Amino acid sequence: MENNNFINIDGIDIPIENEKNVLELIRKADIDLPTFCYHSELSVYGACRLCVVEVEGMGVQASCSLPPRPNMKIKTMTEEIRRIRKVNLELLLANHDISCPTCSRSNNCKLQDLSRRLGIEKSRFKKTTKEMPLDNSSYSIIHDPNKCVLCGDCVRVCKEIQSIGAIDFIHRGAECSVGTAFGKGLANVECVNCGQCVSVCPVGALTPKPETEEVWKDIHNKEKIVVAQIAPAVRVAIGEMFGLEAGELTTGQIVASLKKLGFDYVYDTSFGADLTVFEEATEFIQRKLKGERLPQFTSCCPGWVKFAEQYYSELLPNLSSCKSPQQMFGSVAKRILPDLLGVKAENISVVSIMPCTAKKFEAKRPEFYNNQIADVDHVLTTEALARMIGEAGIRFRTLTPQSFDLPLGFKTGAAVIFGTSGGVSEAVLRFAYEKLTGEVLHDCDFKVLRGNKEFREIAVKIGELELKIGIAYGLKNAREFCEKVKSGNTEYDLIEVMACPGGCIAGGGQPVSFDPDFKAKRTKGLYNADKQLQLHKSQENPYIKELYNKVLGEPGSHIAHELLHTDYSGRKRIEESPLNIRNTNHPKIEVSVCVGTNCFIKGSQQILKEIMNYVVENRLQDIVGFEGLDKHDEMVDVQATFCFEKCNRGPVVKVNNIVVEHADFKKVKTVLDKEIKRIVSLLNN
């Protein structure tokens, strides 16, 4: 029987094999249709209208939103289609801030690339939009709305992959743009700094915030000793900026480049990852054996940590108290390098080379300063380092490789695989196996933890101990784990979370890639790096052992907690002014009730209502038992606010400077009555 499950594309029959739209079939026919807004991992949007094709009997259609049907006849390049594409591109160019020579995406911009492909030299249309202000508020990301082409990729990735929605379309018609709630800066909304919006933005409207000038300043400061730490995922991605294949290991060239740029010492963040394994695995074993604070969530990803602070503060005790490898490295470097190098801690500049935009935010957290000295001074993304190398005229591909400096440059394979989803869990199990069984682990690969699925549940047996492990990338999937843990319907022992798809290999600071296989190639590169090293378990790292012998004592010691551990607390999702519920002329007392999500679901709305009724319906002399207080009847203001960052102790109410935790109306009334009496007594005297 003849199989008619084909569509005809430009005269060639292409079989339909579970493709969800015509665009994917066209790409299977080795035709690269232009598109801005199509990403296979996101919902179909169909906004840019560049992937239009002519379908027999249907006319011109957007191929990304058109389901394939057998016997379709499609033309991808007719005179009309070519004209439509060129007009659409010219309209985009008309309202685009064309600053290509200075744009960080100049060498990897879809708008620039498609303009060249379609032969567009200038736009025939006049600019109609007004120049909008740059949002430079975030430590991690710069938003330039003047370059936005309204493709919606950033909006969809924030909602669909991260389940946050920190940015969205605002206004209507010609005034439409991408922005945040209440027009706030990215620093003042629920953005977790993951940078996935940066990764999908085709034109540079969202870019990592640069710190290259600050790094150059330290390099040229003769009083500074500038040291670099390189994250695992950087070594399998930076080569793409110089024409190499994704996943190709370029560790030696990175070290050589940094030395040529003027860095005094080059170390490996993987040293910090080995250290993290010691502390986090020890913490996990203790929790498991005691049955306390399980499951233990990993805490290496700063995007995930901020997400947990904002949405799941009640689960913060379940997070590992370990700092991330970046921050562990910085803390240890500032402690031991002054003696090793004979220089003051304040004259050591630690520069992180990271695949992650959220690491910029993490380095600026107040928890990671000691006596006003930051553990990590500057964070460069992979792309930023590549630009510095280019600025210096260094020929990256022909460099003679160099090795890391010791002792903070030595690592094991367990640390290198931290850069991919499942890698942290595997490194922890390589350590935990030997500690729990007393046996030597010869086959170090826990391949059951590996894979490209974004939500994984795995059962692992170590000796007589059964472990249930969860692995998630993308914060939407992390949310699913959190909800399961909150419900109590399932039991996990360890849950690894990474904000970025596939892990750090696809972080917001990595080179933007349009290769559909780039994540798989980078991941394979990290596992290959593990295999090429002689040691594959963190407990085999001799320099980590020496650090414990000379400085830390043992995992979990007092000094280890001082240097390598931290704690987190609930965080407000948006910086916003209070909503005035009762606004009096001469207030002496302000009652602020948190109506943020956590407090709201615990009853703060009812407390607000009862307080308002109590203040409005009762005269002050009835409240405090004094006569002749009519003139003070409007001395109490009542406000609704969004967060006191005490979500795990909600509902929270503040009466002047007195904070009432786990509040109910009775508690608040008692505090309010006392405060009214105090103020009235002061006024009458």
Encode pLDDT of 117-159 as tens digits: 877 777 777 777 778 889 999 999 999 998 888 888 999 999 9
Q: How many CA atoms lie within 13 A of 423 on its CB side?
A: 33
What's the CATH number of domain 6-77, 3.40.710.10, 3.10.20.740, 2.20.25.90, 3.20.20.70?
A: 3.10.20.740
What's the CATH number of domain 579-684, 1.10.15.40, 3.30.70.20, 3.90.180.10, 3.40.30.10?
A: 3.40.30.10
Instruction: Name the percent of the chain lying above pLDDT 70.
Output: 94
- What is the value of pTM for the model shown? 0.83
Give the model confidence (pLDDT) of 90-106 as tens digits.
877 777 777 777 777 77
Going 518 to 522 to 527 to 529, the CA torsion angle's sign is positive
Residue in 504, 594, 599, 647 annotated catalytic? 504
Distance from C-alpha of 83 to C-alpha of 124, rounded to nearest angstrom = 13
Distance from C-alpha of 672 to C-alpha of 589, rounded to nearest angstrom = 9
Packing angle of the helix pair 325-341, 269-290 (nearest 10 deg):
120
Give mean pLDDT, residues 373-380.
Answer: 96
3 state DSSP class of 580 = strand
Residue in 191, 300, 301, 356 annotated catalytic? 300
Residue that is written with structure tokens 């803390």 in the block: 331
Q: Does domain 90-208 have CATH number 3.90.420.10?
A: no
Residue that is written with structure tokens 């002749």 in the block: 628
Residue in 257, 320, 331, 349 annotated catalytic? 320
Distance from C-alpha of 527 to C-alpha of 416, rounded to nearest angstrom = 8
Distance from C-alpha of 66 to C-alpha of 646, rounded to nearest angstrom = 49
Distance from C-alpha of 45 to C-alpha of 436, rounded to nearest angstrom = 51
Who contacts 465 (Cβ-Cβ below 8 Å, separation ≥6)?
Answer: 288, 436
Q: What residues are paired with 470 via a beta bridge? A: 457, 495
Q: Is the pLDDT of residue 624 over 70?
A: no
CA 256, 267, 537 angle in degrees (round to 5)? 120
Q: Enter the CATH code of domain 212-564.
A: 3.40.50.1780
Q: What residues are paired with 230 via a beta bridge? A: 268, 353
Rg (CA), the chain: 29
- 222 a catalytic residue: no
Residue in 41, 56, 80, 367 annotated catalytic? 367
- 367 a catalytic residue: yes
Least confident range from 132-141, 498-507, 604-613: namely: 604-613
Q: Are 417 and 300 in contact (CB under 8 A)?
A: no
Confidence of residue 586 (pLDDT cuts 50, 70, 90): low
Q: What per-residue confidence (pLDDT) applies to 587?
A: 67
The most confident of the ranges 165-179, 321-335, 457-471 is 321-335
- 300 a catalytic residue: yes
Residue in 190, 248, 279, 280 annotated catalytic? 280
Q: How many CA atoms lie within 13 A of 317 on its CB side?
A: 10
Higher pLDDT, 255 or 114: 255
Give the model confidence (pLDDT) of 37-55 as tens digits.
777 778 877 777 888 899 9
Residue in 240, 283, 426, 540 annotated catalytic? 283
- 504 a catalytic residue: yes
Residue in 211, 279, 309, 362 annotated catalytic? 362
Going 366 to 368 to 373 to 375, the CA torsion angle's sign is negative
Least confident range from 139-143, 286-290, 314-318, 642-646: namely: 642-646
- 280 a catalytic residue: yes
CA 510, 406, 224 angle in degrees (round to 5)? 75
Q: Is the pLDDT of residue 610 over 90?
A: no
Distance from C-alpha of 404 to C-alpha of 255, rounded to nearest angstrom = 7
Higher pLDDT, 250 or 108: 250
Cβ neighbourhood burial of 34 (10 Å; 0-12, 13-18, 19+) = middle
Give mean pLDDT, residues 647-659.
Answer: 85
- 362 a catalytic residue: yes
Residue in 359, 360, 411, 654 annotated catalytic? 359
For the chain, what are the domain ranges?
6-77, 90-208, 212-564, 579-684
CA 132, 136, 137 angle in degrees (round to 5)? 120
